Amino acid sequence: MYLLELAGEDDAFAAREAASAATDVSVVAPGLATARGISERVRGLAYTHRASDLLGQTEPDVESARALLDATSFDRTGSVAVRARDVRGLTGIDTQTVERELGQVLVDRGFAVDLDEPDHVLQAVFSRADDGGTCALGWLAVESVRDFGTRQPTDRPFFQPGSMDPLLARALANVAGARPGRLVVDPMCGTGGVLAEAGLVGADVLGVDAQTKMAHGARENLAHLLGGEPHEGLPDPGSFDTMQGDATALPLPDDGVDAVVFDAPYGRQSKIANRDLDALVAGALAEARRVAPRAVVVADRSWAEAARDAGWTITDRFERRVHRSLTRHVLVLTRPP
């Protein structure tokens, strides 16, 4: 089993993204989940910090953590470092004391301490919920690449207000199944933020937008973000292209792509009349179902009824609060067999 340390405040959404890189993901405490298996795609997750080989779980206090480590057998030698974390400050544990106490257990078992370049890192993670708490111990297996701050929308060659932040864009791409060998299409691509994140985890991407200016700007951004060397720990970036076009009539064959992802126009911000917006999203959902077996849709309101009318099955739905006046609704859709 593996321990996943989740990021952000929405554990259900983080776990859903983690399921794109791990199997049998289950939230066990705030900020923590377990998984039966993991893949190297954990490196590309937005809302998972790291995965560890789980040694066990116990009560969220120093004595219990030490007793668990003392009683656990493992076949490792060399140098170690202990990293303790109090998830969201929920337990009030003194992490320095934890690191010192667990480090002493390991020293007593023949390990040397190396805080800079250890052979092994022991993660000690503490969390608490209303119905109890936990301390989970595990050997660090893989960490996600935390480079999202280098891709802020305002730093790109082409910027428009309202562009999605790269963390959420990466998560949406992962939930859609972006990975090497898959083609992801955004029929309302805007500045290309979701496609950039899908491309950075190795997927080939195609952006379509009704406005020529946006299609050209998205291509400029994709060239900027995907045209260089791979980001450390991630696959080679996928290929990319954009075009001006209609989201309700894509120039693609039936089942021609692996996934569709789009951020629907927001009613109060869009120049489209509400009645036309309804028709646009309904048409885009129907077209997405024609070309792909899965889709992820984001909007300022739920399009669940329209998605069902278009023939989709809703497998997951989330609400992501951005600020007081904006909540993003996320629908994860699959096409019935």
Q: Does residue 75 share a domain with residue 178?
A: no
Tokens of 89: 């400050």
Helices (H), the chain: 11-18, 62-71, 95-108, 166-175, 193-200, 212-226, 274-291, 304-309
Examine the domain organization and report whether 155 and 99 are in the same domain: no
Cα–Cα dist 273/292, whole Å: 28
What DSSP letter does each residue of 209-273 carry, written as one string? Answer: ESSHHHHHHHHHHHHHHHSSSPPTTSPPPPPEEEEE--TTS-S--TT-SSEEEEEPPPTTT-SS-
Is 86 in the same domain as 233? no
Summarize pLDDT for 126-170 with one digit per residue, the tens.
999 888 899 999 999 999 999 999 899 999 999 999 889 999 999
Q: Do 122 and 160 belong together in one domain?
A: no
Q: Of the residues 93, 114, 143, which one is the last residue of a structural domain? A: 143
- Please state the rounded mean pLDDT for residues 175-181: 98
What CA–CA distance (Å, rounded) separates 337 from 334? 9
Q: Strand, helix or coil at 274?
A: helix
Looking at the fold, whether 153 and 47 belong to one and the same domain comes out as no
pLDDT at 270 over 60: no
Same domain, 190 and 210: yes
Q: What angle do CA 59, 60, 61 make, to 5 degrees?
A: 100
CA distances from 25 to 15, 48, 172, 221 (A): 6, 12, 17, 34
pLDDT beyond 70 at 267: no
What CATH number has the domain bearing residue 19?
A: 3.30.2130.30
pLDDT at residue number 325? 76
This prediction has a pTM of 0.94
State whether 68 and 162 are in the same domain: no
pLDDT tens digits for range 98-132: 999 999 999 999 999 999 999 999 999 999 988 88
Give residue-wise pLDDT tens across range 208-222.
Answer: 999 999 999 999 999
C-alpha closest to that of 255 among 203, 182, 314? 182
Residues 293 and 329 in one domain: yes
Look up residue 155 and give its DSSP letter.
G
Per the structure, the count of domains in the chain is 2
Domain that holds residue 98: 2-143
Asked if residue 206 has pLDDT above 60, the reply is yes
Confidence of residue 322 (pLDDT cuts 50, 70, 90): confident
What integer pLDDT is reported at residue 95 of this predicted model?
98
* Percent over 70 (pLDDT), the chain: 97
Instruction: Say whether pLDDT at 232 is over 90.
Output: no
Using pLDDT thresholds of 50, 70 and 90, give the confidence band for residue 275.
low
How many Å apart are CA 292 and CA 250, to the nearest integer?
11
| Residues 89, 233 within the same domain | no
Question: For the segment 31-76, what is each residue's pLDDT rounded down to a tens digit?
Answer: 999 999 999 999 999 999 999 999 999 999 999 999 999 999 988 9
One domain, residues 221 and 328: yes
* Same domain, residue pair 15 and 63: yes
Last residue of a domain, one of 143, 159, 184: 143
